[in-house]
Amino acid sequence: MRKIVLTGASGGLGLVIAQNLLNEGYFVHLIGNKNTSKLQLIHSKFLATSKVYSVDFSKTSDFTELVNEIGQIDGLVHTLGVSSADMSWKITSEEWNRVMHLNLTVPFQLTQAFTPQLRANKFGRIIFFSSIVAQKGFIGTSAYATSKSALIGLTRTLAVELINSGITVNCIAPGYMDKGMIEEVTDEYLKEILGLIPSKKLGDSTNIAHTVSYLLNEKASYINGQVLNVNGGLN
């Protein structure tokens, strides 16, 4: 049975991904922070194939204990992410650093911590989460967009460094989906966003869950270093 670490598992997209992976027969290490009660509900239905962790990554940069507790895995899905909205000329260095730490440094360092065992095992699947916001210019998103763009560079670099160890590294860039961060936007901004999307609809989040499964599959061994846009044509 393939074992996967899923960060951000308690978020809007994370919950959909978690449910789908468990239905497909993966063992999933479900990592959340404040909302792990949602994960306990899923765990109660998949007692033998899931484990729940509550970790505040803003307070952690040493992953040794967590990696030892989790043990051998086959893949990492970095759904963890925080949004941030402010004009570039107003954003504080504290907020900038918070966003870079959680959106970029933590996914990188967690990947680093698991890399030796994936390399030794000659198999691995690593999936980062970027965003449409990294690919277009949206007002008030400088920190978020920068962190999510950097993940694309990280994806391409790790992809070429790790492929000879049987590890693929890819990135999913969602557009505006119907779960998660979208719940934080105002009605006015939502209307604006819908106006930009060709179908005028938010994306069904199961699209993201199926893309994760597709990339994790052993048959996806030649898909490497890619950014998969799941955005309904909002390019």
Which residue from 70, 126, 158, 181 is in contact with ligand NAP, where contact means CB under 6 A? 181
Is 149 one of the binding residues for ligand NAP (CB under 6 A)? no
Of the candidate spans 22-30, 86-94, 160-168, 175-183, the one that interacts with ligand NAP by CB under 6 A turns out to be: 175-183
CB of 11 to ligand NAP, least distance (A): 2
Is 82 one of the binding residues for ligand NAP (CB under 6 A)? yes
How big is the site for ligand NAP, counted in residues (CB under 6 A)? 30
Name residues contacting ligand NAP, limited to 27-66 (CB under 6 A): 32-36, 55-58
DSSP string, 41-102: HHHHH-TTTEEEEE--GGG----HHHHHHH---SEEEE-------B-TTT--HHHHHHHHII
Q: Which is nearer to ligand NAP, 110 or 159 (CB)?
A: 110
Is 80 one of the binding residues for ligand NAP (CB under 6 A)? yes
Helix or strand (DSSP H, E) at 36:
helix 36-45
Please confirm, yes or no, whether 176 is among the known catalytic residues.
no
Instruction: Considering the candidates 144, 176, 189, 214, report the single residue annotated as catalytic.
Output: 144
Is 8 one of the binding residues for ligand NAP (CB under 6 A)? yes
Q: Which is nearer to ligand NAP, 126 or 163 (CB)?
A: 126
Which residue from 5, 6, 11, 30 is in contact with ligand NAP, where contact means CB under 6 A? 11
CB of 89 to ligand NAP, least distance (A): 23
Walk across the sheet containing 3-7 and list its strands.
Answer: 50-54, 27-32, 3-7, 75-78, 124-129, 167-174, 227-230
DSSP string, 139-174: TTBHHHHHHHHHHHHHHHHHHHHHGGGTEEEEEEEE
Backbone angles phi, psi at 140, to 5 degrees: 80, 20
Residue 99 and residue 148 in contact, taking contact as beta carbons nearer than 8 Å: no
| CA quadruple 201, 223, 153, 16: dihedral sign | positive
CB of 120 to ligand NAP, least distance (A): 27
Q: What are the structure tokens assigned to 88, written together?
A: 């570039």
- Contacts with ligand NAP, residue ranges (CB under 6 A): 8-14, 32-36, 55-58, 79-82, 102, 129, 131, 174, 176-177, 179-182
